[in-house]
Amino acid sequence: MDFTIKTARFITSAGVGSELPERLPCEIAIVGKSNVGKSSLINALCGRNKLAKTSATPGKTRLINFFLLNEEFYLVDLPGYGYAAAPKAEQEKWGRLMEDYLSSGRVSHIYMLIDIRHEPTALDKQMFGYIIYYGIPYTLIATKADKLAKTKRRSAANAAAKLLGAPPYAVAWSSETGDGREELLERIDAVVHPTAGEE
């Protein structure tokens, strides 16, 4: 059966010390540096232009945003990191917010976004370290794949994963063309509906 996202709606935003929404059996978080394309990914996957607010200004998402998909699981947009213009206090608050959330035991899977065109930054590597430290299953997604020639996308995505310190595989994704969409939907399906015996 092909998995599709039939319904998607915004539930709530949470900051430091905020109460999180009631837990569901599955929660997939999306993380990446500012302006890597998290909101665009959410909108493209859900087929909704304005579900997650996109902005040309990096660092726009300062809260954890929860979206309920198919009335059965959360897709969670985490604040982008590495926005140098953010005040130090704001950056510290971001760190606290992320640590509280990642250590909460709520997260079933993380989609970590990296830019296919650039080497992962020190902050990307730090974020990946957090994911490993907390033992959260993850999928790496190399965004903005449409900026490269089709023949170079797969190798560039895998090279970026390797440079991050991960096994050399990442999904080459483009919010513009939908490249990688089917693979990501399959992965969501596998997380949300693990087959008997794998649970």
The pLDDT-based confidence of 82 (bands split at 50, 70, 90) is confident
Residue type (1 letter), 53: K
Tell me how far CA of residue 18 lies from CA of 64, 65, 76, 139, in angstroms: 10, 12, 15, 27
Helix axes 38-46, 181-192, angle to 10 degrees: 80
Question: Regarding beta strands 64-69 and 8-14, do their DSSP bridges make them parallel or antiparallel, or are they unpaired?
Answer: antiparallel
Q: List the single range of 33-37, 56-60, 76-80, 102-106 with lowest mean pLDDT.
A: 56-60
Q: Is the pLDDT of residue 80 over 80?
A: yes
pLDDT single digits (tens) 104-159:
999 999 999 999 999 999 999 999 999 999 999 999 999 999 999 999 999 999 99
List of domains in the chain:
8-192 (3.40.50.300)
Q: Is the pLDDT of residue 1 over 70?
A: no
Q: Is the pLDDT of residue 199 over 50?
A: no
State residue 56's pLDDT score. Answer: 54
Mean pLDDT of 159-183: 96
Q: Is the pLDDT of residue 13 over 70?
A: yes
Q: Which of 20, 75, 23 is nearest to 52 (CA)?
A: 75
Residue with tokens 């595989």: 169
Q: Which of 59, 61, 57, 71 is nearest to 24 (CA)?
A: 71
Instruction: Give the whole-number percent of the chain exceeding pLDDT 90.
Output: 73
State residue 197's pLDDT score. Answer: 47
Please report, to the nearest 10 degrees, the dihedral formed by the alpha carbons of residues 153, 157, 159, 162 taken in order: -170
Higher pLDDT among residues 62 and 178, named by residue: 178
